[in-house]
Amino acid sequence: MTHINFSGPINPLSFGNVSLNMLRELYRKDIRVSFFPIGSKLDFEVYDKISPDFKNWATSAFNTRLSTLKKDSPSLRMWHLNGSENRVGPRQTLYTFYECDSPTFSEKNICDIQDHCIFSSVHAQECFENVGCDNTSAIPIGFDEDFYVTGKTYLKDRIHFGLMGKFEKRKHTGRILRLWADKYGNKNEYQLSCCINNPFFDNRQMNQVVSQALEGKRYSNINFLPFLKTNSDVNEYLNSIDIDLSGLSGAEGWNLPAFNSTCLGKWSIVLNATSHKDWATPSNSVLVEPSDQEEIFDGAFFIKGQEFNQGTMQTFSDESFHKAVETAMEKCKSINKEGISLKDTFSYRNTIDKILDTMTNDS
């Protein structure tokens, strides 16, 4: 395969991160790309570690997209199901993330019209197989090579917890905050740093949801960081923590914060459900078994009765949370070597190789 049409966003969000890493591997393989960015804008600001040559290549692939467009070239789209009824060229493979467990008729239809639909997790693929989709597979994403172990010492004589990812019900953000604060709040031998800004909330809304979670209380050892503007900033944050709490999300398509921190040798507390099962094991994570399920609807991002994002999320008990934190505090005295080895298995080179194989076999 020498040429493909590629659609995906380049922005500071997780989908933008995945798109960029996929493009970087296509660049390394010397595959010519006609790049149709979703959002029609290339926002490289957060990606301060990428090479100028790659950035110039991606920009050129965008600028020449119409002149290099070929009717017979296969297309790869990296996007949500919602919006992927659109395509560039007659043969499209969709790479997508799915967090719920009850595909709607519209979601199934959009999956069906793809030549092939690749999900990031086995959980998602099985959900669509169960409603009759026979054109699916599961291929995991990889570790972003722009992150690395710094070897620095950050907070001495404290156990540093991290919570990263936009504030959402499905991620249990508010509940995690409350549970941690109830037991460790104002105990300064512990620290919790939160990167939980939701870009779809204004400052008033963010302050409101945090205040509700903490019942209006303030704690000396919980700090809320602003949006981290570059991957270098994110790398410093991930290196500074000892224990990650982001893995307690109840519905995920992969969970980059928990995965990345684990790959850097940190210990992540992970709910053993959805996409987490594809990478988190008892040897590289502190696993928490789900205790129940509840509707995922939050009235903002998951709205009952709509055409997309319907179903349930996994939950956990207060007792399992506190037990997992105690286990993680023992484990974090040593580096998570099994976590670091995840980088060998989960790389974007492997991801793109498998995607290209799938596209070739379906042609």
Mean pLDDT score of the chain: 97
Spelled out in words, what is the top-level CATH class assigned to the domain 159-345? alpha beta
Condensed to tens digits (0 to 9), the pLDDT of residues 303-348 reads 999 999 999 999 999 999 999 999 999 999 999 999 999 999 999 9
How many CA atoms, within 13 angstroms, populate the side-chain half-sphere of residue 154? 17
Q: Which pLDDT band, with edges at 50, 70 and 90, does 242 fall under?
A: very high
Of 161, 152, 4, nearest to 92 by C-alpha is: 4
Q: Which of 322-326's residues contact partners 24+ apart within 8 Å by CB, and which partners?
A: 322/179, 322/183, 324/269, 324/286, 324/287, 324/288, 325/180, 325/183, 325/243, 325/269
How far from the centroid of its chain's Cα atoms is residue 144's Cα?
11
Task: Write out the residue limits of the CATH 3.40.50.2000 domain(s) in the chain.
Answer: 3-142+347-362, 159-345
Concatenated DSSP letters for 42-78?
A: E--TT-TTS-HHHHHHHHHHHHTHHHH--TTS-EEEE
The C-alpha atoms of residue 82 and residue 46 are separated, in whole angstroms, by 25
Q: Over range 274-294, report the average pLDDT.
A: 98
The C-alpha atoms of residue 255 and residue 285 are separated, in whole angstroms, by 13
The C-alpha atoms of residue 339 and residue 283 are separated, in whole angstroms, by 8
Condensed to tens digits (0 to 9), the pLDDT of residues 29-61 reads 999 999 999 987 899 999 999 999 999 999 999
Q: Which pLDDT band, with edges at 50, 70 and 90, does 1 fall under?
A: confident
The C-alpha atoms of residue 363 and residue 356 are separated, in whole angstroms, by 11
Concatenated DSSP letters for 309-360?
A: S-SEEEE--HHHHHHHHHHHHHHTTS--HHHHTHHHHSBHHHHHHHHHHHHH
Q: 5 in helix, strand or coil?
A: strand
Angle at alpha carbon of residue 259, lines to 293 and 150, rounded to 5°: 150
The C-alpha atoms of residue 152 and residue 39 are separated, in whole angstroms, by 38
> Cα dihedral sign for 87, 91, 96, 101?
positive
pLDDT value, residue 40: 73
pLDDT value, residue 277: 98
pLDDT value at 362 more than 80: no
Q: Which pLDDT band, with edges at 50, 70 and 90, does 363 fall under?
A: low
pLDDT value, residue 322: 98
In percent, how much of the chain has pLDDT > 70? 100
Any idea what DSSP says for residue 136?
A: E
Are 342 and 140 in contact by the 8 Å Cβ rule? The answer is no
CATH for the stretch 3-142+347-362: 3.40.50.2000
Backbone angles phi, psi at 127, to 5 degrees: -60, -40
Condensed to tens digits (0 to 9), the pLDDT of residues 125-154 reads 999 999 999 999 999 999 999 999 999 999
The C-alpha atoms of residue 36 and residue 60 are separated, in whole angstroms, by 11
Condensed to tens digits (0 to 9), the pLDDT of residues 169-204 reads 999 999 999 999 999 999 999 999 999 999 889 999
pLDDT value, residue 41: 86
Distances (CA, A) of 271 to 141, 198, 255, 297: 19, 22, 11, 19
